[in-house]
Structure 1
Amino acid sequence: MKPLMVFTAVVVLFFTSCAKKSDYKVILHDPDLYSRTVYELNRVVMGNNFSPVVASRNYAYATVAAYEVIAAGSPKQYSSLAGQLNGLKTIAKPPLDQTIDYEYAALLAFCKVGEAVTFPEGSLKYYTDSLHNIAVTHGMPADEISNSEAYAKAVVGSVMAWSKKDNYLKTRSATKFAINDVPGRWVPTAPLYGEAVEPHWGEIRTMVMHNAKEYSVPPPPAFDVKNKASKYYKEVMYIKGAGDSLTHDQAHMADFWDDNPGKLNVTGHLQFITKKFSPPGHWLSIVGIGAKQTNADFNKTVYAYAKTAIALFDAFIESWTAKYIYNTARPETVINKYIDSEWRPHLQTPPFPEYTCGHCTISAAAAEALTSALGDNVAYTDTSELEFGIKSRSYKSFRAAADENVWARFYGGIHFHNSCIVSHEYGKIVGDSVAIKLAMKK
């Protein structure tokens, strides 16, 4: 927790030193502060070892809570998602006779939901306390502080009540995935040999899709390593050949989009885990970069985060449903057993079935949603991996980044090329559904 507290202190000192007393709006209405707040949740998620799918749930509900606050404060520009997202019937409305700072309330609602959806309550208390101190020391009237905090609490209550009916708690006690060690089926891989991650995620309530199987992907190529002319065998040899001859840029591309939240490193008898932002955390970092690049104001920044997080959430459900329907083996498993027992992929193989590719699915979905929020052809440099020792990469658009991700997972050696292509295609469909179906910005 100490690194997070240090970061929070830096944020508070930065904004405090740059503003005069009674300038609370300059600080609390700065869109960069909202992006920094999302980053704070990202750090907490990373520190608690949440899987990418569980992380997407934190981000989705938290960003929806913040969005509902700004929609209530700017009803001429933004529409509530109540009645649009599955199961979300009503959201608490603000009292008409009270002065509320909606930006401050949005920050609080984001933090309160972000921690309460999965974490023990209070995980972000140190951060919300710092926001309260900014409001007090920089001149927000006491009644406005009280009103804003009360409204944030009311919205949090509405969103939390909605979240508790999404089947998440039910899946916590669901049966573990039964490994069927037959040719072509998924089995755990070295060095972690971990249990299958979230095999029941397809049972989670979607937000925009009608259900988890609304966009059913086609079956993968049939397992066949005996017939060298079969599509499956060609896929196997294609990824093996690519892994055996990676260029420096291809390796960097794979590392950049790795986003493994908990890589197990083994050196002799020494084992240790290195952490990074997971795929949804990486894409939320891109939202912040894109919002700043396009000079989005506070409300538009909140809107962009919410729309992207909703797409990420549904895309994970779409992909994870397919993963446990088809239950396909990873390239490493097949190559080691039938072709080369010493072969290793460039990236560490994650503990869940291969088809479909989760990262390709959610990246395509996020790119579509983010493009609809901030615009097409937004050129940017993604600096989000610098803190993990990985050089930045630049893109002509959000869609171009998602296109590159298709190759990154292939070059990483953890997904067959066909899987990456199909996953990208269906991720775009999910992202399009979010962009088209949701009436958010008027």
Structure 2
Amino acid sequence: MQLNKILLTVIGISVLYGCHKIDLPPHQQEESAGVVYDWYKFIAKVQRPANPQPVVLLNFRNFAFIGVGLYEAVRNGNKNAESLSSSLYQMPAMPQADAWQRYLWSESANAALAMMFKLFLTLTDANKASIDSMEKVNYDRFSQTTSDAVLHRSQAFGRAIAEAIYNWSTTDKFNLSSVGYVPPPVTPASWVPTLPAFATVGPFLHDSRPFLWYSVTALAPEPLEFSENPSSKFYKAVKEVYDIGKHLTDAQKATANWYADAGGPGVGVPAPYHALSIITWVNENQKAKLFEAAEVYAKTGIAFKDGGIITFRSKYHYNLIRPITYIQRDIDATWLPYLPTPPYPEYTSGLLGAWAPFIQVLKKEYGDIEVTDNAYDWRGLPARHFTSLSNLEDEAAISRVYGGLHYKWTQEVSMKMGKKLADEIADIKLVSNKNKHP
């Protein structure tokens, strides 16, 4: 009798499934990340000609939230994934997908990215219209294989995530202004505003809410002991920058320019698109599917924001003199760095504050793989090929020494700080059964 009941139940379910098209509960799908890669390449083209160019530190921060939002928009499609709200500092609970409804996570990503770009980035009306058009093209493409009910549900969920992420971002106290900042007493070791703008940027950035508890108080170690004695390590480090700057080769100048991303609309690559182009290249080259790609964009985004906060906390805590000030005062009054000196203290490195941890995140995900940096292919410049991500990081670090902006030892410490931050990011447990590279 019991067996007959079970058979009747099975037959009834079979008939039901055969007669009606129903939405099955979501399950782990191997959706392509193509829509995500297309969006990141598209928005780079949109902002590249912007005049004025996006504010570097602000744009890094914005894309950090966008990466986290992308992950939240698709993570319900992976049955083993957890929300970042359970790991990140003061992150509220995010909207939840209906566990008994079907979603197309590519459409959730499509809707979330389109909305977040418009919410976070400085765009013209024409830019926003192009984003709307791109979103519709993707939606229409998905509609060829997915029902309207599923697409509408997926679109609404992506937009709900975008709105929640943006609302959370408005409380992070991100402040690049120097209004109200009182510099410490000037000593021979002190940073002072320099050419070309004699400005001060970011002294309160350390108060911005980070993504990790670790980053609330993280600080670089004490810098090399300052000295004006020609036999001291500090003087020799300064003299090294001076000597390199006096005899720069064309290749060294090209390296400095490559990572400076300067020159304005149509010439440079506004931040953080150079870094994002590398992240996207690596994800594509490693054939990352949607969920893994979203996780990488989220974790590298965390590196962008928290790396900047830790860097600027360290900069204004130690307030260390820039090479241009030391050299012109103690070595050669006519010396100028190859690149313009940024308007904040020297230690630690602003470039490596973002680059060192994001590169280490990629190494944690994929290993120390070969990488191609084609950030300037749109200008016809040849790509740079590296046998490892570590070699890419080394070149980015030395580029700032060639530019006359940092001491070598500052770059070395900055890379160590980036690796430490990336280790903290890697400790975020999002997918319990996923193997990582050591």
Find the aligned partners of 2:319 and 2:55 in 1 and give their Cα distance: 19
Distance 2:328 2:234 in 1: 15
SS at match of 2:385: strand
Partner of 1:405: 396
- 1:166 matched to 2:202: no
Measure, in 2, the Cα distance between the counterparts of 1:389 and 1:240.
32
Residue identity matched to 1:188: P
Kindly provide the CA deviation profile for residues 123-157 of structure 1, in whole angstroms up to 9, marking residues without a partner as x: 54521332223423652433233212211121123
8 A contact 2:177–2:203 mirrored in 1: no
Partner of 1:11: none
Cα RMSD for the two superposed structures: 2.6
Q: Which residue of 1 aligns with 2:357?
A: 365
Secondary structure of the structure 1 residue equivalent to 2:260? coil
User: Which of 120, 130, 149 is residue 143 of structure 1 equivalent to?
Assistant: 149
**Cα distance in structure 1, aligned partners of 2:362 and 2:129:** 30
Q: Which of 368, 373, 376 is equivalent to 1:382?
A: 373
Q: Provide the residue aligned with 1:85 in structure 2.
A: 88
Whether 1:154 and 2:160 are equivalent positions in the alignment is: yes
Contact 1:395 1:401 (C-alpha < 8 Å) held by counterparts: yes
Give the aligned residue type for 2:131: Y
* Kept in 1: contact 2:181–2:203 (CA 8 A): yes
* CA deviations over 1:179-204 (Å, ceiling 9, x no partner): 6665333333333x152222211111
User: Partner residue of 1:15?
Assistant: none
Contact 1:254 1:408 in 2 (8 A): yes
1:45 is displaced (CA, Å) by 5.1
- Distance (Å, rounded) in 2 between the aligned partners of 1:337 and 1:65: 48
Checking the alignment, whether the CA contact within 8 Å between 2:338 and 2:403 is kept in structure 1 is: yes
- The corresponding residue for 1:224 is 227
Counterpart position of 1:213: 217
Provide closer, same or farther for how the CA distance between residues 212 and 40 of structure 1 changes in structure 2, counting only shifts above 3 A.
farther
Asked if 1:184 corresponds to 2:170, the answer is no
Q: Which residue of 1 aligns with 2:276?
A: 284
Percent identical: 26
- Return closer, same or farther for 1:207/1:45 CA change in 2, 3 Å cut-off: farther
Indicate if the aligned counterparts of 2:215 and 2:309 stay in contact, CA closer than 8 A.
Answer: no
Matched, 1:430 2:433: no
Equivalent pair of 2:372/2:383 in contact (CA under 8 Å):
yes
Q: Which of residues 241, 254, 257 is equivalent to 1:255?
A: 257
Q: Map residues 125-140 of structure 1 onto 2, 5 A cutoff.
A: 125-136=129-140, 139=144, 140=146
Contact 2:308–2:354 under 8 Å retained in 1 = yes
Pairwise CA distance, 1:288: 0.8
Distance apart, 1:279 and its partner CA: 5.2
Specify whether residues 121 and 388 from structure 1 end up closer, same or farther in structure 2 by C-alpha distance, changes over 3 A only. Answer: closer
Quick check: which has more Rg, 1 or 2? 2
1:58 to 58, 62, 74: 62
Given that 2:201 and 2:343 are in contact with CA atoms closer than 8 Å, whether structure 1 keeps it comes out as: yes
Partner SS state of residue 37, structure 2: helix
The one-letter amino acid of 1:41's match is I
Aligned length, in residue pairs? 397
Q: Aligned match of 2:297 in 302, 305, 311? A: 305
Q: Distance in 1 between matches of 2:426 and 2:273?
A: 20
- Residues 152 and 33 (structure 1), Cα distance of their counterparts in 2 relative to 1, 3 Å cut: closer
1:205: how far off? Answer: 0.9
What's the TM-score, normalizing by structure 1?
A: 0.82
In the alignment, structure 1 residue 117 sits paired with structure 2 residue 120: yes
- In structure 2, C-alpha distance between the alignment counterparts of 1:315 and 1:395, rounded to whole Å: 24
User: Alpha carbons of 1:150 and 1:33: their partners in 2 closer, same or farther (altered >3 Å)?
Assistant: closer
Partner of 1:270: none
Cα gap change, 1:117/1:438 in structure 2, threshold over 3 Å: closer, same or farther? farther
**Partner SS state of residue 199, structure 2:** coil
| 1:242 alignment partner in structure 2 | 244
Indicate conservation of the 8 Å contact 1:87/1:162, yes or no: no
Deviates more, 1:316-325 or 1:109-118: 109-118
Q: 1:333-367 CA distances to partner (integer Å, 9 max, x unpaired)?
A: 22123322222222222222111111123222111
User: TM-score, normalising length from structure 2?
Assistant: 0.82
2:70–2:112 Cα contact (<8 Å) kept: yes
